[in-house]
Amino acid sequence: MTSSDSGSAPKPPAKDPWDLPDVSGLVVGVLGGTGDQGRGLAYRLGRAGQKVIIGSRAADRAAASAAELGYGVEGADNAECARRSDVVIVAVPWDGHATILASLREELAGKLVIDCVNPLGFDKKGAYALTPEEGSAAEQAAALLPDSRVTAAFHHLSAPLLQDPAVEEIATDVMVLGEVRADTDIVQALAARIPGIRGVFAGRLRNAHQVESLVANLISVNRRYKAHAGLRVTDV
């Protein structure tokens, strides 16, 4: 007896994991977009044709950085940046993370938030991972933003590579974490707009701590080999 004989509907074919949505029309905001990582991501996404707004605690600082970046990137204070964007990347230092997100809860309601914050400490032995009370920066974001769609990605991208206009392609993978496939698909698709980069789904937010922490290892690699190391996930 086949499944149709028994009356149950045949199972739909599994979705192709590389079949990602068209995200070219989405406005991307970057909180802390005047910093190295935020400017780098804004530059790459702007250069790929994405509409980008960088945020700052001071609108004039954002406007000045945006003007330097070109590609139609705009600047605004963090609240306006969040309000005007469909997708908002959080690129502030770990020690400002909780305060800024708590203050933008309303502006970020309904938005797809991408946290790229690595909670790290530094001492004379180098970088080491901190363990936030919530488990990870991404889980802290999810706890503070119950009305937002929180994901995590872009932790392992080197800001100097992102910002270097002579670099045409950045050959690396971006680990994408989140609770809802439609959201992580959007983040993977955004990552893929940057030449050389693939977004790879890497689990739910409860596994963000390892991904954030791995940056301490990459910093050690960079120091030893004078590199801007990235990651490749093999066999996918």
Residues in contact with ligand NAP by the rule CB under 6 A: 32, 34-38, 56-58, 61, 91-96, 100, 116-118, 155, 157-159
Report in angstroms how near the CB of residue 25 gets to ligand NAP at its nearest: 26
Which tokens in the block code for residue 131? 């363990």
Report in angstroms how near the CB of residue 99 gets to ligand NAP at its nearest: 6
Q: Residue ranges of the alpha helices (H) in the chain?
A: 36-47, 59-69, 78-84, 94-103, 137-144, 159-163, 181-191, 208-225
Which tokens in the block code for residue 143? 């706890």
Report in angstroms how near the CB of residue 90 gets to ligand NAP at its nearest: 8
Integer-rounded Cα radius of gyration of the chain: 18
Report in angstroms how near the CB of residue 62 gets to ligand NAP at its nearest: 6
Report in angstroms how near the CB of residue 38 gets to ligand NAP at its nearest: 5
**77 vs 86, beta carbon nearer ligand NAP:** 77
Which tokens in the block code for residue 166? 């002579």
**4 vs 156, beta carbon nearer ligand NAP:** 156
Burial class (CB in 10 A: 0-12, 13-18, 19+), 4: exposed
Q: In the chain, what is the straight-line distance between the N-terminal and C-terminal CA atoms, in Å?
A: 36
**2 vs 99, beta carbon nearer ligand NAP:** 99
**22 vs 225, beta carbon nearer ligand NAP:** 225
CA distance 233 to 2: 39
CA distance 135 to 203: 14
Which tokens in the block code for residue 189? 């698709």
**32 vs 148, beta carbon nearer ligand NAP:** 32
**23 vs 211, beta carbon nearer ligand NAP:** 211
Report in angstroms how near the CB of residue 134 gets to ligand NAP at its nearest: 15
